[in-house]
Homo-oligomer: A and B are copies of this chain.
């Protein structure tokens, strides 16, 4: 299901990513990509069947990275690992992250929208599992509905990342994430 990309394909995805990060999805055009690579537009079609496939490759790349998660942890530790992983990912490839975290951009492209929705759901289910474990293990309080719990943890993280992006990385994302984690621990621990 996942195809290895050729070096050229990777170059293309890189550029695509860059373009979206620079100017939103509206900035991602075949023409722009080809111009950046000093190629004809037609040349791109030797590497991808079309724009959609480029975006899919782009999204899949992110999916791949997210899935490289450390699976050894459980419960609250796993939740914190996920938060860390997310921000690291954002820091390592800010373009990619910015793109994938703003699903609305892809409205109107049903296929992409669904790909992203699927990713989000998958991520959500994994986390819910860990929340349950954390509750069962007595690591966190049990009087918060699980879906609300998810929102309480992921919502702030998303907002943090969005603020970081909108401000062009003007603060230390990792430090703020650690602050957030600490606050969450305080709030959610069984008192």
Q: Which A residues are within 8 Å of any B CB, using their own CB?
A: 22-27, 98, 102-108, 117, 120, 143-145, 147-149, 151-152, 154-160, 162-163, 165-166, 176, 179-180, 183-184, 186-188, 191
The residue of chain B having its C-beta at the shortest distance from the C-beta of A153 within the complex is B156
The residue of chain B having its C-beta at the shortest distance from the C-beta of A186 within the complex is B143
How many copies of this kind of chain does the complex include? Answer: 4
* A152 and B156 contact, CB distance less than 8 A: yes
Query: Shortest Cβ distance from A25 into chain B, in angstroms?
Result: 7
* B145 and A151 contact, CB distance less than 8 A: no
Within 8 Å by CB of A187, from B98, B106, B155, B187, lies B187
26 contacts between A and B (CB under 8 A): A22-B108, A23-B108, A24-B106, A25-B105, A26-B26, A26-B107, A27-B107, A103-B166, A104-B104, A104-B162, A105-B105, A120-B166, A143-B186, A145-B183, A148-B180, A149-B183, A151-B159, A151-B160, A152-B180, A154-B159, A155-B155, A155-B156, A155-B158, A155-B159, A156-B156, A187-B187
CB-CB < 8 A to A25: which residues of B? 24, 26, 105
Query: Shortest Cβ distance from A44 into chain B, in angstroms?
Result: 15
**A167 to B155 Cα, complex, angstroms:** 17
8 nearest CB pairs, A to B: A155-B155, A155-B156, A24-B107, A23-B108, A155-B159, A102-B104, A151-B156, A187-B187
CB-CB < 8 A to A149: which residues of B? 183
Q: A102-B104, A108-B26 are in contact. Are A155 and B144 (CB under 8 A)?
A: no
* A183 and B148 contact, CB distance less than 8 A: yes
* A179 and B148 contact, CB distance less than 8 A: yes
CB-CB < 8 A to A176: which residues of B? 147-148
